[in-house]
C-alpha cells in the first residue's frame, strides 16, 4: 500500500503561489466535476485567509495521479505561523520548495528550507511565476543553490530536481525551452523523485498527531501520519501524552482524504495521512499506538515564542456595550481552547486575575488571534507587544530578526537611516531592476512600529519581510514613538467645530459624531508631549452674524488605524480596546491626575 503513496508539503515565502499551485493540481487531477463552481484559492477556507490572501493554517488534501495517491499539505508562508510548518514537516517525505522567479529566495524561504533540510528531506525546487514580467528563472536557480549551500545541505540535497512553472496558468516544464500546457511534468517529478514512506506495515501501530481540529458532529479530531502498522475504525488504541502517560481509548471515526473531502474509511495502513476521532484531550505532538505494545514516537518540539502581550478585561466606560463575552472567565476559556490547536502560543496567568500574558511568534500571529476573538463577540483590552528576553550563559539575550527590504533607490538612504536608529546591522545589498534589495539583522524590538513608518517613508512602494534569526546579546535601548497623543478630557460625542480647531495640533484618529470618553486617544500630537483636549465642545450660538465666520468647515479625513497598526502604535502606558464593532486607543489610566501620579512614581 505505501508504495502507492507520496506525502509532500508545499513550502514557500508568503505570496509565492503555494495555494494557487494546489488549486491547479486539484483541477488537473480531476477532483472537481466539469460543471462544478470552483472558488479561487480553495484551500484558504478561513474568512481571514480569504480577506488577507494569506494562508494561516496548514491543511491536508490528496490528489490521484494514475494509481498513485499524493497527499499534499498546504502550509503558511508567514514566519509568524512557522509553528504550523514545523510540525507538519514530520509527516511528509519530501517538500516542493516554491520560489518566485522574480523575487528569488526570501526570509521565510530560508526558515522553512532549513527546517526541512534538518529533517533530512530532499526538496523539489519549483521556480514559479516564470510568466511574470522581469522574471529571471536561471538567476533564481543559482540563488537557491547558494541558499542550500549556506544552510549546509548534504550532497544528495544539493542535487535537487528543478521544475519551472506558472501555477496561475496551470503549466510546468523540466526545461524552459520545453513548452507545456499542463502540470504533468510536475506530477511525473513527484512520482519519480519522492520516496514512498519508509514504514513497516507489519510492526505495531504508531501515529504521530500533527494537527488538531474540532468537528461539531464528532468532536475533537486529530490528523497525523501512520508511521507503522495499520488501524481499523472502532479499534481500541493507546494514547501516549507528552509526559509519557498511557491511556486506552476507542477510535470512533477513521477518516481519509479524497481530494478536499474527508471520507470515512474502515482501515488505514502505514504511510497514509488520516484523521481520527474519539480522543477529546489528545494534543499535538503526542502518539497513538497499539494497545498491546504502546511505544511513543519522538515528541515534536516547536520553537519558542518571541513576543508577548497582556490580554485584559476591559475596564473602559463603554465596557459591555458591544461585546457578548467580556469577563475574565470568558477570555480565559477562549485562550485555553486556542492553546489546544495553536502550538506556537503560550498563555500564563499573572498577579492580576483579570490579566493574561499571551506569547506568540510575532505581531501578526497575536493580531490574528485578537481579530478572531473580536469576530466571535469578545471584548477586551490589549497592551503593547513586548519581546521575550532570555538568559543564555549568564548574559541577557533578545530575539533578532532577519529583515529583507526591497526599496526604490531614491528611498534607500532614508530607510537605512531609520533602521540604524533601531539598531539594525546591514548584511548585504543587491541591485535589482529599479529597486535594491537590502538585508539586515535587527532586534525584534526594533521592528515594532516600523512597518507603518516604512510605508510612509517609501510612499507605499517598499516591500519588507522578516523571519526569526536567533537570540543574541541585548543591543541596548531603542527610542520609541517620537510623537505624543491627543487625549479626550471629557466624555461625550465629538463635534466638527472642536475637531476643526484641533486639526492644527496633529493627526486625528476620529471624525465627528464619534462617542468618546475621558482618557481615550483621539489623535497624534504634532509635538513630543501628550495633550489633553476637548473634542466635544460646540460653537456658542448667538443671534449675531458676521460675513465669513460661518463658512463651511473643511475637516481632513481622520486616519483610521487597523488592529495591527494600533498594536504597533501604542506606547507602554497605553492600551488598545478591542470590541466586535470598534478598535479604540486609550491611556492605561484614564484620569489625568492618576496619570501624573503614576509618572511621578516612575521617576
C-alpha 206/C-alpha 295 separation (Å) is 7
186: alpha, beta or left? (left if phi > 0; alpha if psi -120 to 50):
alpha
C-alpha 205/C-alpha 289 separation (Å) is 5
Q: Which residue has the cell 505581531?
A: 363
Residue (of 76, 145, 139, 77) closest to 102 by Cα position = 139
Whether residue 17 is annotated as binding a ligand: the answer is yes
Q: Is 400 exposed, middle or buried (0-12, 13-18, 19+ CB in 10 A)?
A: buried
Given CA atoms 336, 46, 406, 124 in this order, what sign does their dihedral have? positive
Contact 223, 274 (CB under 8 A): yes
Beta bridge partners of 508: 523
Residue (of 330, 29, 25, 46) closest to 171 by Cα position = 25
Residue (of 367, 572, 568) closest to 452 by Cα position = 568
Whether residue 129 is annotated as binding a ligand: the answer is yes
Q: Which contiguous run of DSSP H or E holds residue 474?
A: none
Exposure on the CB side of residue 23, measured as CA atoms within 13 A: 18
Whether residue 523 is annotated as binding a ligand: the answer is no
- Helix axes of 107-118 and 137-150: crossing angle, nearest 10 degrees: 50
Whether residue 103 is annotated as binding a ligand: the answer is no
Q: Which three cell numbers stand for residue 444?
A: 525584534
Q: Which three cell numbers stand for residue 415?
A: 530607510
- The DSSP 8-state label assigned to residue 518 in this structure reads T
Contact 136, 143 (CB under 8 A): no
Reduced to 3 states (helix: H, G, I; strand: E, B; else coil), residue 20 is helix
| 574-578/583-587 β-pairing | antiparallel
- Residues of 536-549 as b/e, b for ≥16 C-beta within 10 angstroms? bbeeeeeeeeeeee
C-alpha 362/C-alpha 346 separation (Å) is 12
Whether residue 420 is annotated as binding a ligand: the answer is no
Reduced to 3 states (helix: H, G, I; strand: E, B; else coil), residue 356 is strand
Q: Which three cell numbers stand for residue 452?
A: 507603518
Reduced to 3 states (helix: H, G, I; strand: E, B; else coil), residue 96 is strand
Beta bridge partners of 370: none
| Total Cβ atoms within 10 A of residue 97 | 27
Q: Which contiguous run of DSSP H or E holds residue 414?
A: helix 409-421
Spell out the residues 6+ positions from residue 361 whose beta carbon is closer than 8 angstroms to its own: 79, 80, 81, 82, 83, 303, 305, 306, 307, 344, 468
Q: What is the 3-state secondary structure (H, E, C) of 279-346?
A: CCCCCCCCEEEECCCCCCCCCCCCCCCCEEEEEECCCCCCCCCCCCECCHHHHHHHHHHHHHHCCCCE
Residue (of 8, 168, 159) closest to 97 by Cα position = 8
Whether residue 130 is annotated as binding a ligand: the answer is yes
Whether residue 19 is annotated as binding a ligand: the answer is yes
Show binding-site residues.
15-20, 128-131
Show binding-site residues for GTP.
15-20, 128-131
Amino acid at each position: 500500500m505505501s508504495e502507492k503513496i507520496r506525502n509532500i508539503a508545499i513550502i514557500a515565502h508568503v505570496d509565492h503561489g503555494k495555494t494557487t499551485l494546489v488549486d491547479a493540481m486539484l483541477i488537473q487531477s480531476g477532483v472537481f466535476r466539469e460543471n462544478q463552481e470552483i472558488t479561487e484559492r480553495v484551500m484558504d477556507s478561513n474568512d481571514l485567509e480569504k480577506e488577507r490572501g494569506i494562508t494561516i493554517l496548514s491543511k491536508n488534501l490528496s490528489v490521484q495521479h494514475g494509481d498513485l495517491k499524493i497527499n499534499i499539505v498546504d502550509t503558511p508562508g508567514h514566519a509568524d505561523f512557522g509553528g504550523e510548518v514545523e510540525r507538519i514537516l514530520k509527516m511528509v517525505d519530501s517538500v516542493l520548495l516554491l520560489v518566485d522567479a522574480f523575487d528569488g529566495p526570501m526570509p521565510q524561504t530560508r526558515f522553512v528550507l532549513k527546517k526541512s533540510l534538518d529533517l533530512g528531506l530532499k526538496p523539489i525546487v519549483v521556480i514559479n511565476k516564470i510568466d511574470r514580467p522581469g522574471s529571471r528563472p536561471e538567476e533564481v536557480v543559482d540563488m537557491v543553490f547558494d541558499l542550500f549551500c549556506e544552510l549546509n545541505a548534504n550532497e544528495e540535497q544539493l542535487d535537487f530536481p528543478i521544475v519551472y512553472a506558472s501555477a496561475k496558468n496551470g503549466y510546468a516544464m523540466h526545461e524552459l525551452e520545453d513548452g507545456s500546457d499542463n502540470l504533468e511534468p510536475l506530477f511525473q517529478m513527484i512520482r519519480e523523485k519522492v520516496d514512498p514512506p519508509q514504514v513497516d506495515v507489519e510492526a505495531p501501530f504508531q501515529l504521530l498527531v500533527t494537527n488538531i481540529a474540532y468537528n461539531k458532529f464528532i468532536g475533537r479530531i486529530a490528523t497525523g501520519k501512520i508511521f507503522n502498522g495499520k488501524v481499523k475504525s472502532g479499534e481500541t488504541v493507546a494514547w501516549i501524552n507528552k509526559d509519557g502517560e498511557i491511556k486506552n481509548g476507542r477510535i470512533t471515526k477513521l477518516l481519509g482524504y479524497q481530494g478536499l473531502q474527508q471520507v470515512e474509511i474502515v482501515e488505514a495502513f502505514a504511510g497514509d495521512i488520516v484523521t481520527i476521532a474519539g480522543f477529546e484531550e489528545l494534543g499535538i505532538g503526542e502518539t497513538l499506538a497499539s494497545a498491546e505494545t504502546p511505544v511513543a514516537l519522538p515528541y515534536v518540539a516547536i520553537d519558542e515564542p518571541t513576543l508577548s502581550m497582556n490580554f485584559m478585561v476591559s475596564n473602559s466606560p463603554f465596557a459591555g456595550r458591544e461585546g457578548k463575552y467580556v469577563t475574565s472567565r470568558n477570555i480565559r476559556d477562549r485562550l485555553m481552547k486556542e492553546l489546544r490547536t495553536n502550538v506556537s502560543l503560550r498563555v500564563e496567568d499573572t498577579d492580576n486575575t483579570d490579566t493574561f500574558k499571551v506569547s506568540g511568534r510575532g505581531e501578526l500571529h497575536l493580531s490574528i488571534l485578537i481579530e478572531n476573538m473580536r469576530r466571535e463577540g469578545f471584548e477586551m483590552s490589549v497592551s503593547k507587544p513586548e519581546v521575550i528576553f532570555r538568559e543564555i550563559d549568564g548574559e541577557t539575550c533578545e530575539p533578532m530578526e532577519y529583515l529583507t527590504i526591497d526599496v526604490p533607490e531614491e528611498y534607500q538612504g532614508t530607510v537605512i537611516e531609520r533602521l540604524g536608529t533601531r539598531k539594525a546591522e546591514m548584511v548585504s545589498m543587491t541591485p535589482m531592476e529599479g529597486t535594491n534589495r537590502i538585508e539586515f539583522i535587527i532586534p525584534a524590538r526594533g521592528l515594532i512600529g516600523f512597518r507603518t513608518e516604512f510605508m510612509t517613508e517609501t510612499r507605499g512602494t517598499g516591500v519588507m519581510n522578516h523571519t526569526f534569526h536567533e537570540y543574541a546579546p541585548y543591543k541596548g535601548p531603542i527610542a520609541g514613538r517620537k510623537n505624543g497623543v491627543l487625549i479626550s478630557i471629557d466624555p461625550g460625542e465629538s463635534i466638527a467645530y472642536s475637531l476643526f480647531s484641533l486639526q492644527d495640533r496633529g493627526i486625528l484618529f476620529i471624525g465627528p459624531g464619534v462617542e468618546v470618553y475621558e482618557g481615550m486617544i483621539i489623535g497624534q500630537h504634532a509635538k513630543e508631549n501628550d495633550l489633553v483636549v476637548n473634542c466635544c465642545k460646540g460653537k456658542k450660538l448667538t443671534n449675531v452674524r458676521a460675513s465669513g465666520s460661518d463658512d463651511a468647515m473643511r475637516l481632513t479625513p481622520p486616519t483610521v488605524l487597523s488592529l495591527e497598526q494600533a498594536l504597533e502604535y501604542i506606547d507602554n502606558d497605553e492600551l488598545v480596546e478591542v470590541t466586535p464593532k470598534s478598535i479604540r486607543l486609550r491611556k492605561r489610566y484614564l484620569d489625568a491626575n492618576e496619570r501624573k501620579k503614576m509618572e511621578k512614581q516612575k521617576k
